[in-house]
Amino acid sequence: MTAAAALTLVLSAAVPAVGVPSPTAPNPHPPLGGRAPDGSVPGGARLAGRGLIQPAGSPKLPKDLTAKSWILFDLDSGAVLAARDPHGEYQPASILKTLTAVTLLPKLPGSRVVTVSKAAAGAEGSAVGLLAGARYTVDQLFSALLLISANDAAMALAEANGGTAKTVAEMNDTAHRLGAYDTVVQTPSGLDGFKQLTSAYDMALFLRAAIAQPRFVKYDEQPSASFPPKKSSQGHVGGYEFDNQSEDFLDALPGAIVAKTGYTDAALHTYVAAAQQHGRRLGVVFLRNQRVPLDQYQQAIALFQWGFRLPTTLTPVGRLTGAVPAPTATASSTAQPSTAQRSVAAAVPSLAAARARSGQRRSWLAAGGISAVIVLGGAVVGLRLRKLRRLRRRR
């Protein structure tokens, strides 16, 4: 089989076979990817290694990095500063929503209104509590997608794009265009498919592409977002607020830009983050990670601090392929910004100050959760929305 033929198989969206369930535990022998159509190793030959990879003469890496696969890279130059098993193929969990956003942001204006289906409202795993039959703006759905990893929002956005199958196919196409040859997408939310895999290297490409889209950064860096009261034929729900589940990282590291977490039984913990210091912008990806003895955001901070201290004269261990994506003209650029877009844009200059005041900021989530009331078929149901970073659940 030629390399090109093998690539076609890898990049095709897999169709679940009858009776083949999604994985429920990590694969003890994750496969090795890392082959471009011409047979070369994307990013350079050193990135084919499965152990630790760091520049000659660099200081000792931080201890307590527990991810089986990770990468530290320069967002602007594409230089890979250090890595471990960067082309090993692992389940992504909800950090795959980074690719979901990269694929859908140029197509869905923030002001567009979406009516949520029963299927989307009932999506498995973490959810923001969308009400079936109610109307939400794309701005609101992307805020929920990125702040609390809402799978119901992922499904609603996919349906707004023409359906899950269409969105998954476009995500696979986007991955291919970015040079991500280790990735097969099966779900827009990151919930495990029976063949859904990615690599730290590929996720670095997706994060770099996401950072190039200003809307992604504006949604992801918000300290919190809120939904007004909603009503439909299925009932009604009161207004509520939800916090950014990555606010610990955004608060703790000067220059933090964005972060996104994920977890499933098969993926374990996953993480992507970006930060800027001293005129450099770096990105981090963790796959199959643990949250002990340090939480993921603390491991990321340690790795960022190590990377920002590296002399610029050190030779990198590899380089992300392809040009740095330029900010794209999105569908929303031709439409009037929604109320949510205007409020986010206005808040951007003061986000750092808002985070500094986060301990004093009033939030319905201050105690770790909020309560809303939904009326479904005349029955009152209490809906408990908790900070998802405190939950070990599928997300």
pTM score, whole prediction? 0.82
| Placement of tokens 């990105």 in the chain | 283
Report d(CA 296, CA 72) in Å as an integer. Answer: 14
Q: Which residue type occupies 244?
A: N
**DSSP string spanning 159-192?**
HHTT-HHHHHHHHHHHHHHTT--S-B---SS-PP
**Upstream peptide bond of 293 is cis (omega within 30 degrees of 0):** yes
371: which 2 tokens? 């309560």
359: which 2 tokens? 């301990």
- Degrees, nearest 5: CA angle 59-65-68: 115
Report d(CA 115, CA 129) in Å as an integer. Answer: 14
Is 149 known to be catalytic? Answer: yes
Backbone dihedral angles phi then psi of residue 339, each to the nearest 5 degrees: -60, -40
Query: Which residues, 6+ apart, have CB-to-CB distance to 16 below 8 Å?
Result: 186, 193, 194
Helix, strand or coil, per DSSP, at residue 382 = strand
Give the model's pLDDT for residue 329: 54
Helix, strand or coil, per DSSP, at residue 204 = helix
Q: Which of 22, 68, 69, 94 is catalytic?
A: 94
The CATH code of the domain at 29-319+334-390 is 3.40.710.10
The domain ranges of the chain are: 29-319+334-390
Q: Helix H segments across the chain?
A: 3-11, 97-104, 118-121, 138-147, 151-160, 164-177, 200-211, 214-220, 247-252, 296-309, 339-347, 351-356
Q: How far is CA 111 from the centre of its chain?
A: 22
Q: Which of 149, 189, 246, 338 is catalytic?
A: 149
Is 199 known to be catalytic? Answer: no
Taking 3-state DSSP, the helix, strand and coil percentages for the chain, each rounded to the nearest 5, stand at 30, 20, 45
Beta strands in 238-337 (DSSP E): 240-243, 256-264, 268-277, 280-289, 318-319
Is 58 known to be catalytic? Answer: no
Q: Which of 97, 218, 230, 387 is catalytic?
A: 97
pLDDT tens readout for residues 132-157: 999 999 999 999 999 999 999 999 99
Q: What is the pLDDT along the chain (395 residues), one digit of tens a residue?
A: 444 433 333 333 344 434 457 899 999 999 999 999 999 999 999 999 999 999 999 999 999 999 999 999 999 999 999 999 999 999 999 999 999 999 999 999 999 999 999 999 999 999 999 999 999 999 999 999 999 999 999 999 999 999 999 999 999 999 999 999 999 999 999 999 989 999 999 999 999 999 999 999 999 999 999 999 999 999 999 999 999 999 999 999 999 999 999 999 999 999 999 999 999 999 999 999 999 999 999 999 999 999 999 999 999 999 999 766 666 555 543 333 333 333 334 333 334 444 443 433 323 222 233 333 233 332 222 333 333 333 333 34
Q: Which residue type occupies 360?
A: Q
Report d(CA 59, CA 163) in Å as an integer. Answer: 48
- Cβ(209)–Cβ(102) below 8 Å: yes
pLDDT tens readout for residues 269-294: 999 999 999 999 999 999 999 999 99
Alpha-carbon distances of 304 from 24, 102, 207, 268, rounded to whole Å? 32, 24, 15, 22
